[in-house]
Structure 1
Amino acid sequence: MKDDSISYATKFTESGFIFAPFNIEEKAILFQADKADYITEKLNSISELALKNDFYSDESSKEKHIKIVEKAIDLISENELQKVVISRKELVEIASFDVLEIYLKLLQTYANAFVYVWFHPKVGLWFGATPETLLQIESTAFKTMSLAGTQVANETENIVWKSKELEEQQLVTDFIKNQLNGIATDLKIDKTETIKAGNLLHLRTKVIGVLNKNANLKTLIRALHPTPAVCGLPREIATGFINKNESYNREFYTGFLGELNIKNSNTKSINSNLFVNLRCMKIEGNVASIYVGGGITKDSIAKKEWEETVSKSKTMKRVL
């Protein structure tokens, strides 16, 4: 940016790079297109980082996470919730770091993800590598996806998804379909497939459609964000449970980011490419805050949900 002032996207008619928090009541930060400098660089090589990793992951944080998950499972058993996503923040001490080298490692490790490094002097430094598209839209034609279910990739075994992950994925797909009812036409839902992101596998279902005349980009974003993949169902009850029980501010984790209303130089159309901010971390001084979470359903087992967050945290620790 050409100065350190903070701009916001309020109507979603603005143009630039957006960085939006999980909480829809908080403002989405915007790097305005007409105030930004654009730099293109060819990245070829990567060197090893000499970093010391000291993990502040003690038994108390494990017990706390398991208790929250157990509380969520109880609420689901009482039919108050269908699903809720419980997350936590893990702190990693780093002796030193180089922004470009970490970014290069993310690019190399997560070839199929949207990889970013984002900095604002008044907000902070964030890195991420997310496999989940919130929305891609050109004119009125859009693409989105449901992404849920996680398991560690194992090249020697056939991929088998259990009922818990399959149900979780179907809940997200059904939510998107219902949310788009009335604001989109020509809706098409692809078959569910398995994708790989780093050392993890996920279930993904692609959805395409056309925005109708009574809706706009802001309407579409508000319909989709936050999805059950990062929040839960029903959305309002899940959000309340998260805010009451997680006891920390997610900030931009499980928010969304990307290009907002950028003109395509070839087609002259206006495009937006937005991604859910998963697999991310914030750097403050010599400490990296790594954010991880998992979807809780009636079939969840609290200790296994903890183990899943441990596996997910490794995806970001690998670049430190």
Structure 2
Amino acid sequence: MRILISGQHGQVSTELQHRLGAVGELIVPGRDQLNLAQREQIRQQVRHIRPDLIINAAAYTAVDQAEDDAAAAFAVNAEGPGILAEEALALGIPLIHYSTDYVFDGSKTEPYDETDAPHPLGVYGKSKLAGEQAITAVNGQHLILRTSWVYSTHGRNFLLTMQRLLQEKPELRIVADQIGAPTWAGTIANSTLALIERWKAGQAGAWGTYHLTAQGHTSWFGFAQAIGEALQAQEKPCARLLPIPTSDYPTPTARPLNSRLDCTRLQREWGVSQPDWQTALRECLAGQA
């Protein structure tokens, strides 16, 4: 099986490359070869490679920058995925695509499930929602996997930023009223592998949109505390943490206060579940050591 993965150096793509080699030949072109902002390049590459499965792990993820760069965000997050879906349909193959909790506004008091109406707050969320809609409109075999608060031991993410700042600063003020599930990119890759294996074994569930995050939830403050405790266990310096409200940390784009996603449909339809966020964090950190 030939698997085309976009987003060569991204957090999720890197973890996919570590795990999927056993199930097929991985083709992971760089951005110069497969740029989701280049429509014709996408079509040419997919038709040349002729994969058996496409996994779109590329995205425009600069949430605040997207407010001033909407055209680029929509090109990569909406138009590109739509073209991938069209090419996948033409080949008669599935597309796996990753989306985000940012398609919701965070006003719901309970975890969001797949039946809840999206209402993104900013350009990034709107572009990701448009990508979901473009893929769905093609009506081919697809999995749209919404996740949240992705981190890993490479790239730019909250884990690496906190590890650095906790050792550099005497005190850090961290937002405590945004709630979600920190999700290790390795968890996403493990679940993707399980989904592929079920599909190949003829045990696929329904195609469509699913939520895929670590189990449980915390705040950014709680996530920072857990990272700090791991540093202290290694006898490394750790800043004092102070919880603050979102209002004390203004950003160009509003963030959802509630980013919790209900993942029971993925378990029910595909038999795939995720570990709790604390367990996944320990596994991630063990690989970093």
TM-score in terms of structure 1 length = 0.25
Higher relative CO (Cα under 8 Å, sequence separation at least 6) belongs to: 1
TM-score in terms of structure 2 length = 0.27
